[in-house]
């Protein structure tokens, strides 16, 4: 099987491509997502799906969504990786009540990244990604297990979706932000939940949501 260009692939994506090539050579059929997870050493089937979508956008794969063995390697000469960005997944953000932040080492995970079309994020490269836990933002079409791509910034406009760090509690949350004098109103997007208020002096804006990658 032809070699695949690797210059813009993450380690995880290269392992996935190598495993698919080996598996097809040995079995004459493509692997399932579960087999890819174990064979390529990926943390979850959700992350496999995200990487497969990125590889498909990069023209390295074809996928038949309704087939359990629907992953097919494309002709590598058709690859165009300039249209995508690698965005590191640096941790988790809670879309419910704020919870304690993991320490700095726990937030680093060089193995995990997602590829995002430059057209979705205006080509901006000052980006990072977080896995969402909780369902307080479901009316904003952000659900538990989704990945949000964040633009690093310390200020946002009223109504922006932002990652907010509460310095007095060492806690973080994902909410829609409104400035109201000396405090901020942090509003969930779930009709069963109420907004809450925090002193603006104890808030650090860590980024604004620019793109959502929904779990499979």
Any catalytic annotation for residue 136? yes
Max intra-chain CA distance, the chain:
65
Per-domain boundaries in the chain: 11-79, 86-213
Whether the pTM exceeds 0.75: the reply is no
CATH number of 11-79: 1.10.10.10
Distance from C-alpha of 46 to C-alpha of 215, rounded to nearest angstrom: 6
Any catalytic annotation for residue 175? yes
Same fold flag, 11-79 and 86-213: no
CATH 2.10.109.10 fits 86-213, yes or no: yes
pLDDT tens digits, the chain, 216 residues: what are they?
A: 334 444 468 888 888 988 888 887 777 677 888 889 999 999 898 899 888 888 888 778 777 655 566 676 664 443 344 556 778 888 888 776 665 554 444 444 445 777 776 767 776 668 888 889 888 998 988 888 888 888 988 899 999 999 999 988 888 899 999 999 999 999 999 999 999 999 999 999 989 999 888 775
Q: Is 170 left (phi over 0), alpha (psi -120 to 50) or beta?
A: left
Q: What is the pLDDT of residues 128-187, one digit of tens each?
A: 888 898 889 989 888 888 888 889 888 999 999 999 999 888 888 999 999 999 999 999
**Residue tagged active-site, from 46, 136, 151, 208:** 136
* Phi, psi dihedrals of residue 122, rounded to the nearest 5°: 55, 30
**Residue tagged active-site, from 151, 175, 187, 208:** 175
Distance from C-alpha of 216 to C-alpha of 212, rounded to nearest angstrom: 12
């Amino acid at each position: 099987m032809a070699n695949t260009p690797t210059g813009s692939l993450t380690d995880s994506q290269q392992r996935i491509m190598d495993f698919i090539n080996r598996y097809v050579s040995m079995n004459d059929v493509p692997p399932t997502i579960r087999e890819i997870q174990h064979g390529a050493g990926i943390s979850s089937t959700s992350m496999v799906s995200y990487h497969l979508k990125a590889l498909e956008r990069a023209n390295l794969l074809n996928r038949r969504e309704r087939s359990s063995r629907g992953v097919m390697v494309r002709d590598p000469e058709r690859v165009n990786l300039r249209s995508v960005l690698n965005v590191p997944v640096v941790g988790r953000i809670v879309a419910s009540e704020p919870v304690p932040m993991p320490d700095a080492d726990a937030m680093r995970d060089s193995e995990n990244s997602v590829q995002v079309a430059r057209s979705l994020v205006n080509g901006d490269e000052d980006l990072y990604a977080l896995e969402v836990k909780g369902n307080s933002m479901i009316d904003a079409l952000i659900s538990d297990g989704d990945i949000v791509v964040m633009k690093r910034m310390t200020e946002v406009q009223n109504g922006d979706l932002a990652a907010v760090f509460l310095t007095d509690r060492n806690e973080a949350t994902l909410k829609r932000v409104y400035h109201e004098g000396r405090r901020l109103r942090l509003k969930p997007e779930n009709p069963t939940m109420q907004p809450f208020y925090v002193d603006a002096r104890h808030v650090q804006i860590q980024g604004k949501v620019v793109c959502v990658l929904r779990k499979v």
